Structure 1
Amino acid sequence: MLTTARAAPSAPPLPLLRLRLAPRGVLPRRIDGVWWPHSRDLMAQLPQLLAALPIAWGDITGVTVNATAWSVAPGRMLVANQVVRLHKAAAPHAPDTVVLLSPGHGRWDLLVVPPDATEEAAVSLMAAALDDRAPDTHGGG
């Protein structure tokens, strides 16, 4: 016997994902991208983020966030039929980052722009975080 579920009422469309990834380069980077979530509700924001990541990053199985910056979330969640372990850590040195782990593929660090940031502030933070220019060095020369 085949059972089919009723179609769920259509949900309102998700807001656009605000994510900018660093260009691929030869040199390692401190920040691999910048994410500007719409809220601090990790359960609502994380699935859309993970769905938009490059295939080359593999299946993300671990996510570490600042414990004080995000809403309460369980220790793991199912995203696109993949179990993702959520780690909440005190991160006074990097309070606005999300660390993504993919076995066999690597680690990616995303700077998180506060959800309540103005568009002007967010655009400025994104540009500064992903600036590829070498830092100014003042010295003899």
Structure 2
Amino acid sequence: MYATADQSQPRAMPFRAPTVRLALKPVSPSGGRAELDGAWWPRSHDLTPELSALADVLDPLWGRITRIAVDPGRWPVIPRRIHVNGRVVKVDWFTSGQDPHKIMLLSSTSGRWDLLVVPPETGAPAAARLMSAASAGTGPAPTATALMAAEQAEQVDTLPLSDEPGPGHPERPVPAG
């Protein structure tokens, strides 16, 4: 009697890199409500796959995500529902009273979570600064709009100064002195 060994080669399992760019604040021992719980940098303005990927990641961390609210001025199309880990989650939008640079996620077990939304077209250095600031566990809690305004001011301050306007040199006053 002959024993036969399995001669098949091990199969390569495809590796799927995480598609969600996310930075979360450390859990606060005081349990106090922060202005922001972190930041999310979606890859596109296609909200259906972006929200599904985000909620798929957060659902096991924060508890069952039951509802998501976004600013309609930031997204060309807002789905009414998305699929999250094999179930349907309702998506709403807000028109007032909410920071337009924020997304709100509601969990049936752990309450409300707010994330700064870094626009998809944001460059990597600016996105890294914004995500770091939104997820910092220390210091005053800035609003999403305050973080975006500070980043825009930073971008203006880093433009090259020139006496001559032209490509790459927008018209800007040259400091005296």
TM-score, L = length of structure 2: 0.63
For 1:44 and 1:54, locate their aligned partners in 2 and report how far apart those are by CA, in whole Å: 15
Q: More strand per residue: 1 or 2?
A: 1
1:124 aligns with 2:118: no
Shift of 1:28: 2.6
1:20 aligns with 2:60: no
Alignment RMSD, CA only?
A: 2.0
TM alignment of 1:80-91, pairs within 5 A: 80-91=85-96
1:60 aligns with 2:60: no
Letter in 2 for 1:73: I
For 1:70 and 1:14, locate their aligned partners in 2 and report how far apart those are by CA, in whole Å: 25
When residues 93 and 100 of structure 1 are mapped into structure 2, their CA distance, relative to the original with a 3 A threshold, is closer
When residues 41 and 33 of structure 1 are mapped into structure 2, their CA distance, relative to the original with a 3 A threshold, is same
Secondary structure, in 3 states, of the residue corresponding to 2:129?
helix
Alignment correspondent of 2:164: none
Alignment match of 2:103 (pick from 81, 98, 107): 98
Which has the higher mean CA deviation after the structures are superposed, 88-97 or 23-32? 88-97
Q: What is the percent sequence identity of the aligned residues?
A: 40
Alignment match of 2:47 (pick from 42, 52, 66): 42
Bigger RCO (CA 8 Å, 6+ sep):
1
For 2:52 and 2:61, locate their aligned partners in 1 and report how far apart those are by CA, in whole Å: 17
Aligned residues: 123
Which runs of 4 or more aligned residues in structure 1 lie more than 4 Å from their structure 2 counterparts after TM superposition? none
Shift of 1:72: 1.3
Q: Mark the runs of 5 or more structure 1 residues left unpaired by the alignment.
A: 1-12, 136-141
Q: More helix per residue: 1 or 2?
A: 2
Larger Rg: 2
Shift of 1:102: 1.3
